[in-house]
Amino acid sequence: MRAVVIDGPGSVRVDTRPDPALTGPDGIIVAVGAAGICGSDLHFYDGEYPLAAPVALGHEAVGTVVETGPQVRTVAVGDQVMVSSVAGCGGCEGCATGDPARCRLGPQVFGSGALGGAQADLLAVPAADFQVLKVPDGITTEQALLLTDNLATGWAAARRADIPFGGTVAVIGLGAVGLCALRCAFLQGAATVFAADRVDGRLGRAAAWGATPVGSPAVEAVLAATGGRGADSVIDAVGTDASLTDALSAVRPGGTVSVVGVHDLQPFPLPALACLLRSITLRLTIAPVQRTWPELIALLQSGRLDVDGIFTTTLPLDEAAQGYAIAGSRSGDNVKVMLRP
């Protein structure tokens, strides 16, 4: 089969690898129909994560079940499914909450070495009854792909931000996750959402969806717009030292900072005393993908939640290198890239 691999910073290619085998009696094989390039994939592309060997990339996949183990109950060969980007064992008390981050064995992410990459012709999925869901009626391929990671992450970011009804939210970073978080913040009660990014085109997208774009420096803009008080809630969808510092500085005393941006491997110098004196709540998480599905699917099917316009580029799998170059440009015209095997 073909699989997208990375050998080093900026070095993406399509490799030929053996077809995957079932991981066990509870596993399935999915023929991937669509895969997304995620902002966290760019940590490998930008050289922020070390590579001991070529890594098969990708953790967002929608496709068709082509093989199942004898213990799989919820899907069958021929079903169209979406695969959670974050995997758990599926049998422990943590996974019973629908949050693979709470798995007793620890969560795993596709496309990070331990599991296969989703940007491929085929993907082996363990504990399939926990990891996958049939694509529901009325859900498009684009929506299903966002449900595997970015939309679930944006929803969780807003849920964990303690947004008061009628409150103010600042979203830092307007990639796919940030734009999803922006829309979810409105659904969860925010009256005003400030949108911060360095790219004018992305600020324009946020404004078109009802947010209030703020220029750089973001902290000063948010403070000025709130009379010096700060936002009730801040969502950091970037995860750098600079964005984390801005988030902690832009939140009001007693407010909440919700971090879903993926940080690099270096420690962050937390201003603990300032956070303590201002009674700041700080939450960080990867997405509890499976837990979000019942809420998000109903909102998408009803039309209450609109995620159109998140995907801006679609390419065949063989053009993955071009797709990564587009995603890595972080331009205003390009938000998210879909690869089609």
Model confidence over 55-74: pLDDT tens digits? 999 999 999 999 999 999 99
Which of 241, 257, 284 marks a domain boundary?
284
pLDDT, residue 51, reads 85
Q: 113 pLDDT exceeds 90? A: no
Q: 337 pLDDT exceeds 90? A: yes
pLDDT, residue 213, reads 97
Separation CA 109–CA 130 (nearest Å): 14
| Helices and strands counted in the chain (H then E) | 11, 18
One domain, residues 273 and 325: no
Structural domains of the chain, count: 2
Which DSSP state fits 271? -
Average model confidence (pLDDT) for the chain?
96
Q: 112 pLDDT exceeds 90? A: no
- Of 90, 94, 87, nearest in space to 117 by CA: 87
pLDDT band at 114 (very low <50, low <70, confident <90, very high): confident
Q: Where are the alpha helices (DSSP H) in the chain?
A: 42-45, 128-131, 141-147, 150-159, 176-187, 200-208, 218-225, 241-250, 272-277, 289-302, 320-329
Please report where in the chains the tokens 């050289």 appear, as a residue.
47
Separation CA 192–CA 197 (nearest Å): 16
Q: 215 pLDDT exceeds 90? A: no
One domain, residues 107 and 210: no
pLDDT band at 233 (very low <50, low <70, confident <90, very high): very high
CA 299, 93, 261, 249 dihedral sign is positive
One domain, residues 306 and 276: no
**AA identity, residue 69:** G
pLDDT band at 327 (very low <50, low <70, confident <90, very high): very high
266-314 per-position pLDDT tens digit: 999 999 999 999 999 999 999 999 999 999 999 999 999 999 999 999 9
One domain, residues 238 and 334: no
pLDDT, residue 50, reads 85
* CB-based contact 57:317 (threshold 8 Å): no
Which of 263, 284, 305 marks a domain boundary?
284
Structure tokens at 283: 């939450």
Task: Compute the average pLDDT of residues 137-159.
Answer: 98
pLDDT, residue 111, reads 94
One domain, residues 21 and 140: yes
Q: 169 pLDDT exceeds 90? A: yes
One domain, residues 263 and 295: no
- Of 34, 39, 21, nearest in space to 328 by CA: 39
One domain, residues 144 and 292: yes
> Range of 325's domain?
2-149+288-339
Structure tokens at 162: 């303690």
Q: Is the overall model pTM greater than 0.85, yes or no?
A: yes
One domain, residues 189 and 241: yes
Q: List the CATH number of the domain containing 232.
A: 3.40.50.720
Task: Compute the average pLDDT of residues 242-257.
Answer: 98
One domain, residues 12 and 145: yes
One domain, residues 202 and 224: yes
One domain, residues 162 and 142: no
Please give the backbone phi and psi of residue 222, each rounded to the nearest 5 degrees, phi first.
-65, -45
Q: At what angle do helices 289-302 and 150-159 cross, to 10 degrees?
A: 100
One domain, residues 230 and 299: no
* CB-based contact 211:182 (threshold 8 Å): yes
pLDDT band at 53 (very low <50, low <70, confident <90, very high): confident
